[in-house]
Amino acid sequence: MLPADSPADLPDFTAERTAADLDSVLKQSFGHADFRPGQREIVERSLGGEDILAIVPTGGGKSLCYQLPAILRKGVTIVVSPLIALMQDQVDSLKANGISATFLNSTLDGQESFNRIQAILRGEISLLYVAPERLLSEGFFDLLDRVREDVGIAGLAVDEAHCVSSWGHDFRPEYRQLRLVRQRYPDIPVSALTATATDRVRQDIVRQLALRSPFVHIASFRRHNLYYEVRPKEKKSTYREILARVRQGGSGIIYCMSRRQVEELAAKLVADKVSALPYHAGLNGDTRSENQTRFIRDDVQVMVATVAFGMGIDKPDVRFVIHYDLPKNIESYYQESGRAGRDGEDSECVLYYSAGDVGKVEWLIQQGSNEDEQRVARQQLRQISDYAESTECRNTVQLRYFGEDFPGNCGKCDNCCDPKPIEDWTIEAMKFLSCVARTKERFGTKHLIDVLRGSKAQNVLKRGHDKLSTYGIGKDRTADEWKMLARSLLHQGLVSETTDGFPILKLNALSWEVMKKQRSVEIAVDPKRKAIALDDDRPDSTVMGQALFQELRTLRKRIATEKSVPPYVIFADSTLRLMAQKQPTTLEAMAQISGVGAFKLDEYGDAFVGAIRSYCETNANDGVDATNLGRTQLQTWEMLQQGWDIERIARERDLKETTVLSHLAQLVEAGKVVDIAPYIESGVRSRIEAAIDRVQSQKLKPIFEALEGTVSYGEIRLVCAARSAQPQDPNEPDDLQF
């Protein structure tokens, strides 16, 4: 904010500005090189005094739309935000950029509130965050009057503006009072921002806040940096896949349906040396908020949670969101998975799906008493299971739900990147549909499959269905395969389903075409479980950058801990990654990195430049060529990440175990593998370590001889590699395992 008595050479920014001015403020104060789509126009119009309605998906960069105008205009900008927990983070992030901001809410004592109010009245604050209930509290309008008098009120920004609408999912009656601000200060421009898309909510916001022909910006809800995938949920493989993903590093959330499931999965991960914590409504409030803070501060890598987790958190660097169970509906899935990658960095969203889970949810729905609710819940369940089973682009299906017409081919989902094989199942479809006809269109899938597979179940025998011509003609397919066909037929509209409580299959015109052989049936078949591919689009040279990146993260964590702020407040992951790639060794070069604004350069530039310099020096001399990993070592790495042990890798690849161990040693040297404990018996390891100490050398042969040939060269090599690798900062989370 410009002080009220600013000299003439610092004019009020409501005047017209050139594009270059805004660009330089963007870089200076926020460290960003370019505006995201929509941001510039919003900022310009806001500076011009217009009301704004911005509908932007999570992570789209809403905050900047009111923060940038706030620092350019005279007076305080009042920001209304519903979540007290987030205010602290927002204010920390602003301060980390040298922008003066503060908040007033019920967590502060009288003295602290007083001090903050004094600072505001002295004109030291650009952005004031308040909870909506604060607006109703006694004397608040008097305070605003004084602020207006002394330093001016630049604008009102209403974050999460959908809370004003009872049509939204998060209605807050206090938000309705915001209207009073507009009535009292009609000349102050209002910006309303939300990530909720429906038209009704949008209209409600305009009406409730009395916006004056606002400039409306509606961004696409497409999240470009998220990769969406649906994988079959199977007892054993699913856990192994999750473990492999977790070990690739990065913060992640795993959602489960029940508290019990949360506890079990968290415990299992912990037993596998993953730093994970549970979060669900059954934990007491203190534990919940402590676990949440530890996640936000990167003290713990993975949060295993029910959907109770996430509403109040705003961690921008969540790298994966895994749904271990089916979400309630597509909108919930969009919101929950959307907690990944708010910082715009590539992140993954994986949904584990099994037809059995659908059955479980159906059962739960049936337990409800209200018929209307049951109907809605069933429809939502159908939509989300359609999403899971669809072979269409995941983005197309999701965005269709929000009324957007997305053409597909996103290049960022399993169906676009890895289409399921299509098979001709016309004969099976004819058998199935005939069975529907023979049983007089009065049964659901389960019974039909029993008949097809020749079951001796009471329900089949007592109806005489064992006498039908279709009895037992489907023994060649498993019940699961028949279910897959049934779902696909429904999906393709080749059979219909009644929705009056019991899902009974009915034939339609298309069914008859199939039965008369006028139409063939193709279905997408789940391929055999495929390995999660190693992300190796990146050239091997980034292995080097990777090690530096981890060092910079460690430095960031140390500074964050000292300052008691979340690490991302210091620098975003993307900024650290750029540093690791470009390796700036001077402050001038550092200033060019996106995410490094003037204030942060001052504050942290030396520390980070120092770390990069010393990294470059060490690595120029120590002869470890970390970039030297070849295909074969990377293949071993890929298999390790899937949880395979040395013996299995050796067997599958027809290699000697000692060869695989030497790959592992090279991976350790390259910094890809940090913890070797899972791969070597602790007894063997300590004997080798003792021998190294005894012979005072890391040459393999003397160690081998000292141990009289009782351990292999591969094992010795591995232990030596682990000993020469950098010792880990004990404060760093386990996510650096690979």
Interface residue list for ligand ADP (CB under 6 A) = 32, 34-36, 39, 56, 58-64, 316, 342-344, 572
| Phi, psi (degrees; rounded to nearest 5) at 600 | -65, -30
For residue 413, the minimal CB distance to Zn ion (Å) is 3
Nearer to Zn ion, 206 or 393 (CB): 393
For residue 56, the minimal CB distance to ligand ADP (Å) is 5
Calpha distance 156→209 (Å, rounded): 11
Q: Answer yes or no: are the C-beta atoms of 148 and 175 closer than 8 Å.
A: no
Nearer to ligand ADP, 61 or 69 (CB): 61
Secondary element (H or E) of residue 552? helix 542-563
| Sign of CA pseudo-dihedral 456, 460, 463, 466 | negative
Nearer to ligand ADP, 399 or 596 (CB): 596
Neighbours of 312 (CB within 10 A): 12
Sketch the per residue contact string, 98 through 117, with Zn ion: x for CB under 5 A, - otherwise.
--------------------
Listed ranges 249-257, 339-347, 395-403, 712-720: which one lies at the site for Zn ion (CB under 5 A): 395-403
For residue 83, the minimal CB distance to ligand ADP (Å) is 12
Nearer to ligand ADP, 63 or 102 (CB): 63
Mapped onto helix, strand or coil, the DSSP state of residue 22 is helix
590 binds Zn ion (CB under 5 A): no
Helix (H), strand (E), coil (C) string for 63-81 = HHHHHHHHHHCECEEEEEC
Q: Which does 393 bind (CB under 5 to 8 A by kind): Zn ion, ligand ADP, none?
A: Zn ion
Nearer to ligand ADP, 64 or 560 (CB): 64
Angle, CA 697 vertex, CA 696 and CA 703 arms, to 5°: 100
Nearer to Zn ion, 112 or 418 (CB): 418
Calpha distance 344→346 (Å, rounded): 7
Q: Which does 413 bind (CB under 5 to 8 A by kind): Zn ion, ligand ADP, none?
A: Zn ion
Partners of 55 in beta bridges: 194, 218
Q: Which does 316 bind (CB under 5 to 8 A by kind): Zn ion, ligand ADP, none?
A: ligand ADP
For residue 560, the minimal CB distance to ligand ADP (Å) is 15
Neighbours of 642 (CB within 10 A): 18
Nearer to ligand ADP, 35 or 334 (CB): 35
Nearer to ligand ADP, 64 or 164 (CB): 64
DSSP H stretches of helix in 642-732: 646-653, 657-669, 682-695, 700-706, 713-724
Angle, CA 302 vertex, CA 298 and CA 304 arms, to 5°: 135
Q: Which does 62 bind (CB under 5 to 8 A by kind): Zn ion, ligand ADP, none?
A: ligand ADP
For residue 69, the minimal CB distance to ligand ADP (Å) is 14
Question: What is the DSSP secondary structure assignment for residue 475, as one 8-state letter?
Answer: T
Listed ranges 250-258, 393-401, 457-465, 658-666: which one lies at the site for Zn ion (CB under 5 A): 393-401
Within 8 A by CB and 6+ apart from 610, the residues are none
Q: How far is CA 128 from the centre of its chain?
A: 29
Residue with tokens 């395969």: 481
For residue 400, the minimal CB distance to Zn ion (Å) is 12
In angstroms, the first-to-last Cα distance of the chain is 45
Q: Answer yes or no: are the C-beta atoms of 579 and 552 closer than 8 Å.
A: yes
| Token digits of residue 642 | 């899937």
| C-alpha distances in Å from residue 180, one per residue of 49, 153, 167, 176, 599 | 19, 15, 21, 8, 37
Q: Which does 39 bind (CB under 5 to 8 A by kind): ligand ADP, Zn ion, none?
A: ligand ADP
Position closest to ligand ADP via CB: 61
For residue 405, the minimal CB distance to Zn ion (Å) is 14
Nearer to Zn ion, 386 or 481 (CB): 386
For residue 414, the minimal CB distance to Zn ion (Å) is 8
For residue 33, the minimal CB distance to ligand ADP (Å) is 7
For residue 712, the minimal CB distance to Zn ion (Å) is 47
| C-alpha distances in Å from residue 27, one per residue of 424, 480, 578, 588, 601 | 57, 56, 16, 14, 11
For residue 320, the minimal CB distance to ligand ADP (Å) is 17
Q: Which does 572 bind (CB under 5 to 8 A by kind): ligand ADP, Zn ion, none?
A: ligand ADP
Mapped onto helix, strand or coil, the DSSP state of residue 614 is helix
| Phi, psi (degrees; rounded to nearest 5) at 78 | -90, 125
| C-alpha distances in Å from residue 114, one per residue of 104, 117, 632 | 10, 5, 65
For residue 416, the minimal CB distance to Zn ion (Å) is 3
Nearer to Zn ion, 46 or 395 (CB): 395
Q: Answer yes or no: are the C-beta atoms of 300 and 567 closer than 8 Å.
A: no
Q: What b/e readout covers 101-133, taking b as 16+ CB neighbours within 10 angstroms?
A: bbbbbeeeeeeeeeebbeebbebebbbbbbbbb
Q: Which of residues 403-432 bind Zn ion (CB under 5 A)?
A: 410, 413, 416
| Token digits of residue 706 | 């000292």
Sketch the per residue contact string, 353 through 392, with Zn ion: x for CB under 5 A, - otherwise.
----------------------------------------
For residue 490, the minimal CB distance to ligand ADP (Å) is 37
Sketch the per residue contact string, 716 through 735, with Zn ion: x for CB under 5 A, - otherwise.
--------------------
Q: Which does 59 bind (CB under 5 to 8 A by kind): Zn ion, ligand ADP, none?
A: ligand ADP
Q: Answer yes or no: are the C-beta atoms of 570 and 95 closer than 8 Å.
A: no
| Token digits of residue 603 | 């504050």
For residue 35, the minimal CB distance to ligand ADP (Å) is 5
393 binds Zn ion (CB under 5 A): yes
Nearer to Zn ion, 406 or 604 (CB): 406
Nearer to ligand ADP, 523 or 569 (CB): 569
399 binds Zn ion (CB under 5 A): no
Nearer to Zn ion, 89 or 229 (CB): 229
Nearer to ligand ADP, 13 or 35 (CB): 35
Question: What is the DSSP secondary structure assignment for residue 413, as one 8-state letter?
Answer: B
For residue 194, which amino acid is it?
T
Q: What is the largest CA-CA distance in the chain?
A: 97
For residue 112, which amino acid is it?
E
Within 8 A by CB and 6+ apart from 192, the residues are 51, 52, 53, 54, 157, 158, 161, 164, 205, 206, 209, 211, 214
Q: Which does 63 bind (CB under 5 to 8 A by kind): Zn ion, ligand ADP, none?
A: ligand ADP
Q: Which does 342 bind (CB under 5 to 8 A by kind): ligand ADP, Zn ion, none?
A: ligand ADP
For residue 574, the minimal CB distance to ligand ADP (Å) is 8
Nearer to ligand ADP, 197 or 725 (CB): 197
Q: Which does 492 bind (CB under 5 to 8 A by kind): Zn ion, ligand ADP, none?
A: none
Query: What is the binding site for Zn ion (CB under 5 A)?
Result: 393, 395, 410, 413, 416
